[in-house]
Amino acid sequence: MSNTRLKDDQGRRPSLIDNILWCVLDTIFATHLDRLAPFDEKSRDGTGIVTAMAVFVITQGGFVASSIKDAKSGPKLWALFAIYVVLFALSFIGLEVVLRLTNNRNEKRIRTFDRVSILYARWVLLCGIVVIVLLTMLARYNLLPGQPTRYDFEGELTATSQFASDFARGTSADAPLKTRTQAVMDRWVKSLATAYSKTAKTTLLVLRQNQPFKRDYFPVRADVTINGDFTIGDRFAFLVKEDSPPLQLTGAFGDYYLPDYRQVPFEPAEKDGRLPSHRLRLPAPNAGEQLVVVLAVSANEGKELPLNAKDFGCILVMHRQEDFMGN
């Protein structure tokens, strides 16, 4: 730091904050060289070099921004963001070379590029730093273009029980294509229930969320509980978004029953290894998705299976978001 900053015009020493600020400016923008290495008539015009580096950053940033629109998953978004950071770092190094490059003429240190070029390089560097800070903040709060904005799920996750054998529906040959293809899926569910019903005192129960998720949420955790007279055996779960064919599908194929299924994992078995876990971890449910849980339920010794699916007492018990994040 030069002696001119040790005291101000009134002979007072600058504060610690002033010294830190000047140190940052000297480090990033090489402002100390304005005093140590003056300009002369032989300092070259470097605006063309600075412009080339600025165009490089803008072009690559535009490419990354356009790619982000098709990258809906977190890893892809962060990978593209990392690419832009690396490209900015390369330009940052180039701009620093322009700002700090000097020559020795007649035993005197002279700036290689003229004053206009230095000011231009500082302006480009400042703009790049502002952009990278803004992108970092947008990424931190899930606000990048194409990056889904998610919320904490609040409230209860209500669901209704139904026997899988009740899913089959009758259709006629002249029914709409969507109805006929949906009936095929329902018959498959019923045939699965028939296979389980061959086992004594076992039935297949479907627990369906009453209302789809209204927004995109962070991961959610829930326990599947049931009346103590019954035991849950095999089970699997899905997040289902009903009938959402891609927009590019047209004609007859777009009329099919085309729901989206995302399998939801159950947590590993309990520590003692005797009882399976019935705790679900919903991986960031999206708006329009519904949770569907299929359970093979058997009656305990001395108990009978009820005729009404609601009598199983099967419900979903939600956990607080902070509990989920802590485990």
For 109-126, write each residue's pLDDT tens digit: 888 899 899 999 999 888
Burial of 125 (0-12, 13-18, 19+ CB in 10 A): buried
3 within some domain: no
Residues making up the chain, counted from first to last: 327
Pick the closest to residue 207 from 187, 222, 196, 195 (CA basis): 222
Domain termination site, one of 83, 111, 140: 140
168 and 309 part of one domain:
yes
269 and 312 part of one domain:
yes
Structural domain span for residue 135: 37-140
97 and 245 part of one domain:
no
pLDDT of residue 5: 52
The answer to whether the CB of 128 falls within 8 A of the CB of 92 is: yes
Largest CA distance in the chain: 105
Domain termination site, one of 140, 172, 196: 140
Query: Residue 181 in 3-state DSSP?
Result: helix
226 within some domain: yes
Give the CA angle between residues 261, 263, 268 to the nearest 5°: 170
85 and 195 part of one domain:
no
Q: Is the torsion defined by CA of 129, 130, 133, 135 positive or negative?
A: negative
Distance CA 236, CA 292 (A): 9
- Provide the CA 269 distance to its chain's centre, in angstroms: 28
297 and 169 part of one domain:
yes
Bridge partners, 163 (sequence order): 205
316 within some domain: yes
- Which domain CATH number covers 306? 2.60.40
Tally of domains within the chain: 2
Whether pTM > 0.85 for this model: the answer is no
Query: Residue 99 in 3-state DSSP?
Result: helix
pLDDT tens digits in sequence order for the chain, 327 residues long: 444 454 555 556 667 787 788 888 888 888 888 878 888 777 888 889 889 888 887 777 666 666 665 555 556 667 777 877 888 888 889 889 988 988 888 778 888 899 899 999 999 888 888 887 887 777 777 676 666 677 888 888 889 888 887 765 556 666 666 676 677 677 777 777 777 766 667 888 888 899 999 988 888 888 888 888 898 888 889 998 876 555 445 555 556 666 778 888 887 765 554 445 688 888 888 888 999 898 888 888 888 888 888 888 888 887 755 444 444
Domain termination site, one of 140, 170, 203: 140
136 and 167 part of one domain:
no
DSSP conformational letter for 267:
P
1 within some domain: no
